[in-house]
A and B are shown apart, each in its own frame.
Chain A
Amino acid sequence: MKGMVINMRITNNMVFDKYMRNLNNAASQLSNLNEQVASERSFLKISDDPVSALKAFKVRRDTSRTELFQTNIKDISSTLTEVESSVSSINDCVSNAATLILQGKSGTYSAEDRKVIASSLRSFQEQILSSANSKFSGKYLFGGSGVSDMPFTLDDDGNLLYKGQNVDTGTFTDTNKYIDIGLGLQYESSGEIASESAMNVSYSGAELLGTGLDSNNVPNNLYNVIDGLADMFEANDFTNFELYQNKLSDKADDIRLQYVSIGEQSSFVEYIGSRLDITEVNNAKKTQTLEGIDMAKAIVSFTSQQNIYDACLKMGSKIILPSLIDYLN
């Protein structure tokens, strides 16, 4: 011990006690290092290093968050791919239909030919309906926030219904459905989620195909527009043809826009995903720094402590036993 008076009286018990204390210290240090090397952890309990431990637990939480957002992103990404492909197929139908009616309107087609065109148009309608009702992983894609009921149905008269209401006359209030992707959920004063703080995964079929009637009484709904055109070709009666044709062209633009917007969402999701991947790597590095040990350094410390302990033991035999009595005749 530092500061001990040199001419202090030394007794046997003092020597023995001090030796035992030092031996015990060396042994417990050795045991600690051994545990560190065996567990490959820098701290075994929080009290070993509270500052690092606190940081490490925060990193653990961040790691879990990153993981869950990555899963959410993957789900959204696959859903978007399906949505994209559905919209794309609707897009194809629309452009084919537009070409077809242009051809069919020309004078060279007979009434019979026009009936054939009508039936092609009807089959486009079916395709569009089927795409709008597509499912992924057992959930309907275009039901807004609802996933288990078929969004588009036909009533007994053959009218198109969206969630039970006629698309031309009903009122539709599809709500947004938000998924947390780690941007930090925020709520507006109205109690609704701020749209920039989460990902909206609600795709409304009503918005996709259109609802209601415009000022010329032409339906906004794509299915009904094509239906109207199909009726015209069937009956060979082309009053209002221009209105419907323009409407179809408008709808084509609309569908294309929606397709582009889905594509943008896809890129956004991909971007978030790759940022999360980088965060994942960073978290792993931080965890290693805070909770792991430099194996080489730890083993060296352990080995040197073993030598210290050894030396301590050897010293014991030399200072404990002899006393003057051993040397007297």
Chain B
Amino acid sequence: MSSTFYGIGIALSALQASQANIDVSGQNTANVSTEGYTRQSVDQSALTNSGISYKYAQSKTSAIGAGVSSDSIIQIRDQFLDLRYRKANSEYNTDNTSLSILSEIEDVFDESQTDGLNAMLTDFYKKLEYLSSNAGDIEFSTVFRSAAQKVTQTLNEYANQLSDIKDQELYDLNIVVDEVNTLLSKVNNLNTTIKSETLYNSVSNELLDERNLYLDKLSQYLNITVESNKDGSVSIKSGDEYLLNAQTAYKAELSIDSSSDDVKLMNEASEFSVEEGQIKGYMQSLNGLGNYASGDEDTYTGIRYYQKALDDFAASFSSTFNTLNGDLIGEDKPLFEGSTAKDISISTEWSNNANYITASNNTDAEEGDNDNITRMINAMDSDQTISSIYTGTFEAYMTSLMSNVGIDVNYMTSLQKSSKLILTSIDTQRKSVSGVSLDEEAVNVIKYQKAFQAASRLMTAYDEILDTLIKSMGIVGR
């Protein structure tokens, strides 16, 4: 047997529930384009009248339900999808950052539409050949010297461009690391807020969304795994190391150590390693030594590889021609000065005297003799040991260096495309689960509006019943 006003309680709970639902639908609709917003819904349960208050056991179940309770507002989010998304995001960003840096390197070397080192070397060979037909002729000597100068200047240019790229990427990396530190602080702050709200059992979904957004952003910079703690806070790990440990109140402070050629990511005073993400992309592009790597050096073909490849070329080129010009006649007659790509240039003696070329090694050489020039031509045609990892002609070396960049870019582009597809697919699934569908919300509004109307009718019905009960009962015979 229920109390008099029992029914009104039911109707009231119905009204409140419908109202809550419409409010939540409204919230969803308003936030349809908010970044990182997870759709919310009301977690309802039917209220029951517990039988524990009866003194005696009842013959049959007679408890009437007590209405509907709006327990909480929940957000519909799949944590597993979040995990997969963050992993895919890190991997995609590794490829994306690596690709963009590789493209910049390709722009330095690419000669599809403009002349570069390959064209200069080919021209150098041509002018050397013309000189051999016209040995001793000052005009041809001058022409050859300027062809040589173009080679050294182009080498200088390439080296400078590569080091500019390196500086720029280092700068960008520092900005990224600062951003990571900022995000860690933000998550830390949110942890505190959410923790205190959890105590009061009143966590706002919007705060959760904000924190998840920061975590997503963090995953693009480096690979992270998120641990949820019972008190509502989250701890963030990268690999096996903690970036943020809510239980021990530890927060990492990342920085970049670029004092040596080998750029390091530091967490306070010790080295910190990352597997994926933009930071990984920057680090491997800056440090990668490619085929030059030994021991535990990075085998990715990064800027350092190309810098070393150019330096080896410059050293080998200048020493080969300096030897040919001088050593065979026992003199020190260098054609080139400098042994790195940045500082190689025509020697001062050569720039002052176009005929500084040793045209002949014959003991009684005459003007017009060209045997040493022919020897230089032969040096360009023969295989040289240009570096510890390459033996071949100078021209072939530059062509293969240039085409290697192109092949790397081509390969990285397809890697990036496929990791993008994976990321997009997971993101689509996330949006499918957590995104707002206006159609759905519209239907919900209609549904709950009707429910509200029905509940109002119910209320009216109870009102009339009570009215009858109170006003119209017990007045018989008055």
Contact = CB atoms under 8 A, between A and B. Distances in A.
A65 B393 CA distance: 15
Given A11-B437, A61-B395, A72-B133, A50 B366 contact: no
Contacts of B367: 146-149
Given A47-B409, A67-B126, A12 B436 contact: yes
Contacts, number: 169
Nearest to B399: A57
A75 B134 CA distance: 10
B368 A47 contact: no
A139 interface: yes
Interface stretch (B61-69, B84-92, B169-177, B425-433): B425-433
Contact of B442 (A13, A69, A323): A323
B106 A45 contact: yes
Interface string B108-136: 00111100001100110110011011001
Contacts of B119: 60
Interface residues on B, range: 35 or more
A268 interface: no
Given A57-B403, A146-B367, A177-B370, A64 B433 contact: no
B302 to A, nearest CB: 17
Interface in A70-108: 71-72, 75-76
Contacts of A12: 32-33, 435-438
A241 interface: no
Contact of B443 (A61, A201, A324): A324
A3 to B, nearest CB: 9
Contacts of B409: 45-47
A64 B442 CA distance: 72
Nearest to A68: B126
Contacts of B437: 9-12
A324 B129 contact: no
Given A177-B369, A185-B381, A41 B129 contact: no
B371 interface: yes
Given A47-B406, A149-B366, A11 B435 contact: yes
B374 interface: yes
Interface string B410-434: 1001000000000011011001110
A11 B432 contact: yes
Contacts of B190: none
A58 interface: yes
Nearest to B435: A11
A193 B442 contact: no
B283 interface: no
B378 A185 contact: yes
B122 A147 contact: no
A148 B439 CA distance: 95
A50 B374 CA distance: 34
B362 interface: yes
B442 A324 contact: yes
A54 interface: yes
A187 B435 contact: no
Interface residues of A, number: 59
B111 A57 contact: yes
B439 A47 contact: no
Contact of A179 (B111, B133, B442): B133
Interface in B213-234: none
Given A8-B432, A57-B118, A175 B133 contact: no
A296 interface: no
Given A50-B403, A67-B126, A41 B112 contact: yes
Interface stretch (A14-22, A232-240, A299-307, A310-318): A14-22
Nearest to A327: B442
Contacts of B374: 178, 180, 185, 193, 198
Contacts of A6: none
A145 interface: yes
Contacts of A14: 428, 431-432, 435
B207 interface: no
A143 B365 CA distance: 12
A328 B447 CA distance: 13
Contacts of B433: 9
Interface string B39-77: 000000000000000000000000000000000000000
B222 to A, nearest CB: 25
Interface of B: 32-33, 103, 106-107, 110-113, 118-119, 122-123, 125-126, 129-130, 132-133, 136, 360, 362, 366-371, 374, 377-378, 381, 395, 399, 402-403, 405-407, 409-410, 413, 424-425, 427-428, 431-433, 435-440, 442-443, 446
Given A47-B409, A145-B370, A328-B446, 16 more contacts: A1-B425, A17-B427, A17-B431, A18-B428, A43-B112, A47-B405, A64-B126, A65-B126, A68-B129, A72-B133, A139-B368, A145-B366, A147-B136, A148-B366, A179-B133, A187-B378
18 contacts: A10-B432, A11-B435, A11-B436, A14-B431, A17-B428, A21-B424, A45-B106, A46-B112, A46-B403, A64-B122, A65-B126, A72-B130, A143-B366, A146-B366, A146-B369, A149-B367, A180-B132, A325-B442
Interface of A: 1, 8-14, 17-18, 21, 39, 41, 43-48, 50, 53-54, 57-58, 60-61, 64-65, 67-69, 71-72, 75-76, 139, 143-149, 175, 177-180, 184-185, 187, 193, 198, 201, 291, 323-325, 328
Ranked 6 nearest A-B pairs via Cβ? A46-B406, A146-B366, A11-B435, A147-B368, A47-B409, A324-B439
